[in-house]
Structure 1
Amino acid sequence: MAHIKPDYATSNMRLVGHDDQGGRSDAVQINLHRGHAYVGHIFSKGFSIVDVRDPANPKTVNYVPAPPNTWTLHLQACDDLLLVIHNKDMFAQPELADEKNYYKGSVDGHAEPEKTTRDWSAGMAVYDISNPAEPKQIGFMPVEGTGLHRIWYVGGRFAYASALLDGFTDYIMIVIDMANPAKPILTGKYWLPGMNKAAGEVPDWPTPNGRFGLHHPIIHDDIAYCSWRDACLAVVDVKDKSNPKLITHKVWAPPFGGGTHNALPLPDRNLLIVVDETVLDNQEDGFKPIWVFDNQVRSNPISVSTFPPPSDKDYLGVGGHFGPHNVYENRPGCFVSSEFIFATYQNAGLRVYDIRDQFRPKEVGAFVPPRPTTWMDPRPNRPVVLHSADVCVDRNGLCYVTDFNAGLYIVEYKG
């Protein structure tokens, strides 16, 4: 790995390995299972499996193509099951090549049957990964609409996801019964009032200026912490799987930019880490922080601090997206911490934060991969810069970082 030199790394971060994912160097979500990494592609129409048992020499061992015109960019691996979303390939639509059209307006028109031909797969595929390198599809849950965006599944009977279904203005939360993995069942739904257009609900938000749709939920103790993009944070009681109920809805956009992407509960400390995703170049959508919320009162989470943004370089001057995208979500069987947060910061790479003092988060590690050497993004006029997307951290503190173009980096956090 000596030939790969990072643009920037602190003494706490060390490059261990790199893989171009079999020539498909684009990826979004990554999960680890039995010494293998499962990466969902954003442009390469499928997902790949990388053998990472030797982290210094990762090797792509399989690729599962997506159905035509279909995204499979998000996935969840747990209990020898791999859950993979099927969604219309949004970035392949000519009108969505400009990110502003995807992030700053309603997307329901891209699912309406009267407006377009259904030439994609919508729903959730289930694979048996007891043989990690050879996923075997055993089930599928179809939905009517664009499909699913992102799933939360940490084992057991229920999975949770965001889905754009016919009749709704944007993605809503769905509950999926996994009692029989071969036949997942859509069991419950929750949406913010105004989203059910088919039922005559009328939105009371400025639809041309933002995405009022769920990115995904994270669940703890039958409470779903829902990142609702420009509608920010919705906290939902999911004890009754067929009839989820709102606990509270917090909105801070405006004055802040919105784009809420993750809401990660840290239950042992009654904290909630909330990420607002930067979605446009050059911070055109405003400054997006990573927030720390005090979550002692579930019905009233209160922001107490924000993470410091990277300051080792003028990343705004680099171009592309400068701001957070995602935080590692404390996957079972991997690294779990309520004191250290790992975040991808798009053109500023991977950042590690110490939040032992929740009122004064501080950066304690950083790794910025070099500029991509291959370019997978087919959209016109994209700046050729880093776009770190997702991170998963194993028990040994090895960080697996994906990118829209730069392949998979494996980095050791030594702090």
Structure 2
Amino acid sequence: MDRSFIAALLVLVTALAPASPADSLNCRLAGNWPFGPTMAVACDPARNLVFLGAGGGVYVLNVADPTEPALLSEGIRTAGRVKDMVHTGNRLYSASGGLYIHNTESPGNPVQLGELSSPRDASGLAVAGNRVYVTDTRFGLRVVDVSDPARPEEVGSIQLPGSTLGVALSADANHAFIASDTAGFRVVDVSDPADPVELGYYLAPGSVREVSGRDNLAFLACDDSALVILDISDPASPVVVSRTMIPDTPLGVHADGHLVYVANHRDGFRVFDCTDPAGPELVGHYDTPWQCYDIRVHGSLIYIADWGCGLQVYEGPVGIAEEPESGRLRGLDLYPNPAAGRVAVRLGSAGPGAQALLLYDASGRYRARWTLTGGRGEFDLRALGAGVYYLRTEQHDTAVGARLVIAR
């Protein structure tokens, strides 16, 4: 056998080996699809799909069994390296040179609906209704109307200093939060999409590479090895709440409930409990085999775009912030609770369709997948041991969940 092939195989096996205890905390490798290079990841939890952005296209993977992700399609082609993606409904939006729009109703055969070129290079995306907010590295922010996805149309734009790399939106979609590299963090009023106006900014000690938002907080991945949390209750005057030093170079950040996940390049990823934003607590870490560029989360499953090692799937801490002395969170009701043989679940203001309901044990390990129909369901608990469990689903693109106690 060729020695160069053996050497390459040994490198790959070493790279994919599980991290040692010193390189991990409360996280473990669940599965992988080790083909890259990849820089972006998005997911559709309701259909067990993960979209993995690569050089010149997107892979569509089935992760119903997270231990063995399976390729469904590699038919999505783009002009350049995919730097960001958002999946909502049956549409996938990709930033790859320009903006690409694909219909994923048939995940094994995605169909391109439209595209829009960029002045320089599309780098970040956020979506609200029929508008897509696109950052262009040397241009700024563009607001694109996708009411007709075959003919996406720019309806407004604003030039911003620095290299605009990432974007997030406020809950009401009236403000865009921009990661603007050496020009820091910028806040733009987009309530009038035809006339975006910059309101305020924060100049970080290092370059701001990515941003995520939750409530009145913005979470910044800064390349001077820091996670910065800002109070943006007054968008015109962001205020630093905390600055947490992290090894290596944070490239991505994703807020999910009270947990914040940081894609930390050669250091893998880190998970912080930000219940108290003034004092983030490290609750999870895993040193991934290559370079962690992007991160998305559903329940206790963490999906990583890990450059040359493709998609890596991990089990980590469950991101459910409970209401004290309650089995209810943001509209998910359980009865009875504690329960023994069966439990009834109701999701407030749910639509008529089916929704996935995921069950995790107290350690955050995935245990079962159930289905709510019209926001309701009744489930058999007899195969589960006594203890504390967590149920999780999504409502209007927001994670909701509750604690379930099984008593015998």
- Equivalents in 2 of 1:179, 1:62: separation in Å? 26
Find out whether 1:162 has 2:141 as its counterpart.
Answer: no
Find out whether 1:392 has 2:342 as its counterpart.
Answer: no
Q: What residue in structure 2 maps to residue 274 of structure 1? A: 220
Find out whether 1:52 has 2:27 as its counterpart.
Answer: no
Indicate if the aligned counterparts of 2:32 and 2:67 stay in contact, CA closer than 8 A: yes
- Equivalents in 1 of 2:92, 2:78: separation in Å? 17
Q: What residue in structure 1 maps to residue 29 of structure 2? A: 15
Find out whether 1:181 has 2:155 as its counterpart.
Answer: no
Q: What residue in structure 2 maps to residue 327 of structure 1? A: 253
| RMSD over equivalenced CA pairs, Å | 2.2
Find out whether 1:214 has 2:214 as its counterpart.
Answer: no
Give the C-alpha shift of residue 326 in structure 1. Answer: 0.6
Give the C-alpha shift of residue 128 in structure 1. Answer: 0.6
Indicate if the aligned counterparts of 2:208 and 2:221 stay in contact, CA closer than 8 A: yes
The aligned runs of 1:278-357 (5 Å cut-off) are 278=223, 287-310=224-247, 322-329=248-255, 336-337=256-257, 339-357=258-276
Using CA pairs under 8 Å that are at least 6 residues apart, name the structure with larger relative contact order, 1 or 2: 1
**Relative to structure 2, which stretch is displaced further, 176-185 or 44-53?**
44-53
TM-score by length of 2: 0.69
- Residue ranges of structure 2 left out of the alignment (5+ in a row): 1-12, 319-408
- Equivalents in 1 of 2:211, 2:166: separation in Å? 9
- Equivalents in 2 of 1:146, 1:328: separation in Å? 26
Alignment equivalent of 2:306, drawn from 370, 389, 403? 403
TM-score by length of 1: 0.68
The aligned runs of 1:32-47 (5 Å cut-off) are 32-33=43-44, 34-41=47-54, 44-47=55-58
- Equivalents in 1 of 2:280, 2:153: separation in Å? 41
SS of match in other structure, 1:28:
strand
The aligned runs of 1:60-209 (5 Å cut-off) are 60-64=71-75, 66=77, 70-87=80-97, 123-143=98-118, 145-153=119-127, 155-163=128-136, 170-192=138-160
Q: What residue in structure 2 maps to residue 230 of structure 1? A: 182
Residue identity opposite 1:238 in structure 2? V
Q: Deviations over 1:85-114 (max 9, x none)?
A: 231xxxxxxxxxxxxxxxxxxxxxxxxxxx
Give the C-alpha shift of residue 146 in structure 1. Answer: 2.8
Larger Cα Rg: Structure 1 or Structure 2? 2
Q: Deviations over 1:291-320 (max 9, x none)?
A: 01122222111112112425xxxxxxxxxx
- Residue ranges of structure 1 left out of the alignment (5+ in a row): 88-122, 165-169, 196-211, 279-286, 311-321, 330-335, 371-385
Aligned residues: 300
Q: Deviations over 1:345-367 (max 9, x none)?
A: 11111110011121111211111
Structure (1/2) with the larger strand percentage: 2
Alignment equivalent of 2:213, drawn from 247, 257, 265? 265
Change in 2 beyond 3 A, CA 1:72/1:360: closer
Q: What residue in structure 1 maps to residue 360 of structure 2? A: none
- Equivalents in 2 of 1:136, 1:410: separation in Å? 26
Indicate if the aligned counterparts of 1:47 and 1:63 stay in contact, CA closer than 8 A: yes
Change in 2 beyond 3 A, CA 1:390/1:86: closer
Indicate if the aligned counterparts of 2:295 and 2:305 stay in contact, CA closer than 8 A: yes
Residue identity opposite 1:344 in structure 2? A
- Equivalents in 1 of 2:125, 2:317: separation in Å? 30
Change in 2 beyond 3 A, CA 1:325/1:299: same
Residue identity opposite 1:183 in structure 2? R
Residue identity opposite 1:341 in structure 2? V
Change in 2 beyond 3 A, CA 1:67/1:296: closer
Give the C-alpha shift of residue 67 in structure 1. Answer: 5.2
- Equivalents in 2 of 1:297, 1:365: separation in Å? 31
Change in 2 beyond 3 A, CA 1:5/1:19: same
- Equivalents in 2 of 1:52, 1:19: separation in Å? 10
- Equivalents in 2 of 1:216, 1:349: separation in Å? 20
SS of match in other structure, 1:300:
coil
